[in-house]
């Protein structure tokens, strides 16, 4: 996937948020910590597929697919965009995200 969007380093995480994360089940905590520390677009979207995230955090794809649903339901992340069958996420209100700007749809560039 090739995007020309500028990615920004993660913001520092508040200690209160980290305390909540470490209380999560280990697989969910891994996912949330990834989203907290990942580079994001100006809108807060992490431009990685679930398969790429799963590989990076040491999970298989099916385990990630099951656990991301729990993380979504708990409000740690929320879907920011969807391109074909790939969903992209950003931090949700449980992770302290308070200003989720309007999402600009992701588009592929012609090769």
Q: CA-based Rg of the chain, rounded to a whole angstrom?
A: 14
Domain boundaries along the sequence of the chain? 15-95
Contacts of 101 (CB under 8 A, 6+ apart): 42, 43, 44
User: Tokens in use for 63?
Assistant: 């385990």
Which pTM was predicted? Answer: 0.79
Taking only the tens place, the pLDDT of each residue in 74-107 is 999 999 999 988 999 999 999 987 654 444 444 5
What CATH code would you report for 15-95? 1.10.10.10
């Amino acid at each position: 996937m090739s995007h020309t969007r500028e990615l920004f380093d993660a913001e520092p995480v508040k200690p209160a948020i980290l305390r909540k994360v470490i209380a999560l089940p280990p697989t969910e905590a891994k996912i949330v910590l990834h989203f907290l520390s990942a580079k994001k677009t100006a809108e807060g979207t992490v431009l990685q597929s679930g398969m790429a995230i799963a590989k990076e955090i040491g999970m298989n794809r099916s385990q990630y697919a099951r656990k991301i649903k729990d993380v979504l339901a708990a409000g740690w992340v929320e879907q920011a965009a969807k391109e074909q069958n790939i969903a992209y996420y950003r931090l949700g209100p449980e992770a302290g995200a308070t200003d989720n700007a309007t999402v600009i749809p992701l588009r592929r560039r012609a090769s």
